[in-house]
Each structure stands twice: as C-alpha cells, then as structure tokens.
C-alpha cells in the first residue's frame, strides 16, 4: 500500500470531475430509486411514530461516503494512478494482490469472487424486482400473462446482450448508463420534492 500515491490522489479534490467519473461516483448513491419501493417495508419511524430523517441521512450518506472513499483510495494505494488506466477489472486485481500467509485461503481473490458473486446475485434479484413492479405499475392490464411476458423480456435482454455485445461495447454502454442514470435520478428527486411540497401545501 503506497500512502504517497493516496496522498497525491487526495490533491485532486479541487479538480472538477468529468461527467463519466462523477456519474460513476454518484452511482453509489443511486439507491434512492430502490428506496422508493422498499420504503413501504423499511421502518424509518422512531418509537414516537415520527419519521427519523436523521437515521435516513446517517445510513445512506455515511455508508455511501465510506464506500466511495474505499473504492477510490484503496486501488490507488495498490497500483498508483498511472497503472489503473490500463486495468479493466480494478478490484479483482486489487484482491489478487492481497496474500494471507496464515489462512485457509492464501489468495483473497477467491473470497472476493464469492462475495462479489453473492452481491451480484442479490443486486440482480433486487433490480429485477423493482423494475418489474415499476413496469407493472404503468400497465392497465395486470394479468398473470402480462406479468410472465414482462419476466420473459427481462430474461431475454441480458442473454441477448451476451451473444451480441463484446466487452468493449459493454463498457461503453455501462458508461452511458451511469451518466443517464444520474441525470434521471436528479430529475426524479426534483419531481419527488415538488410533489411532496405540493402535497404538504394542499393539507395546509
């Protein structure tokens, strides 16, 4: 771990990020779209029955900032800023560089791959679940056949991408996706704030 590289990278805090870099960093905070659906079952209320906004702010902002700092500084500490430009799967390379001499698994990359696979599996299920309910909410006909048709489309698109898209095109699509997602999330948050204020003014 090179602390000099980490200190050098910290000096870029005054540099304006690009759209792609800013969108990739803001992707950690894009869970607001998921909370729109999951807030029905998450208990954000205190014992008095009021919504704890401080709890929401602490959990979302605190965890997001911590993950952002780790994701930014740790790879730079291992490889430096110049070497990272030539890596596609940065965290796989980071974990492959970690050795544990007195452990059952010597190379940490195997543990990381297992955790990453579980996280990816959970993310896919959660994303499909939310997208399915969002898509279903726009439909007038919500029969079982329509639901199965939506699931078939969700399953066919990823498998089609595997046979059509190569890794370079997939990375470019991912870059466009995170940029469009941050713009969409900002518009969604502005819309929700407007609707919330409109609703509160209606009750006055």
Per-position pLDDT tens, the chain of length 204? 777 777 877 887 788 878 777 887 777 777 767 777 776 666 666 666 666 667 667 777 787 788 878 887 888 888 877 777 777 777 777 777 777 776 666 777 777 788 888 888 887 888 777 777 777 777 766 677 777 787 788 778 878 777 887 778 888 888 888 888 888 888 877 887 888 788 777 665
pLDDT for 172: 84
C-alpha of 44 from chain center: 21
pLDDT for 20: 77
DSSP 8-state code for residue 31:
T
Global confidence as pTM: 0.63
Burial class of residue 68 (count of CB atoms within 10 Å of its CB; 0-12, 13-18, 19+): middle
Burial class of residue 9 (count of CB atoms within 10 Å of its CB; 0-12, 13-18, 19+): middle
pLDDT for 41: 67
Of 118, 80, 121, 114, which Cα lies nearest the Cα of 95? 114
Tokens, residue 50:
């009021």
């Amino acid at each position: 771990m090179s602390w000099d590289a980490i200190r050098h990278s910290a000096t870029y805090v005054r540099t304006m990020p690009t759209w792609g870099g800013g969108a990739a960093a803001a992707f950690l905070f894009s869970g607001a779209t998921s909370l729109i659906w999951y807030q029905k079952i998450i208990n954000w209320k205190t014992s008095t029955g009021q919504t704890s906004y401080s709890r929401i702010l602490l959990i979302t902002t605190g965890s997001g900032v911590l993950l952002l700092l780790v994701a930014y500084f740790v790879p730079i500490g291992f490889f430096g800023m110049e070497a990272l430009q030539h890596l596609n799967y940065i965290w796989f390379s980071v974990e492959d560089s970690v050795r544990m001499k007195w452990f059952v698994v010597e190379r940490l990359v195997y543990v990381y791959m297992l955790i990453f696979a579980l996280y990816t599996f959970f993310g896919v299920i959660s994303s499909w679940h939310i997208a399915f309910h969002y898509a279903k909410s726009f439909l007038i006909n919500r029969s079982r056949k329509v639901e199965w048709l939506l699931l078939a489309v969700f399953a066919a698109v990823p498998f089609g991408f595997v046979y059509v898209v190569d890794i370079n095109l997939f990375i470019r699509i991912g870059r466009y996706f995170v940029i469009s997602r941050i713009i969409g999330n900002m518009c969604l948050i502005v819309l929700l704030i407007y609707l919330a204020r409109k609703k509160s003014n209606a009750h006055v």
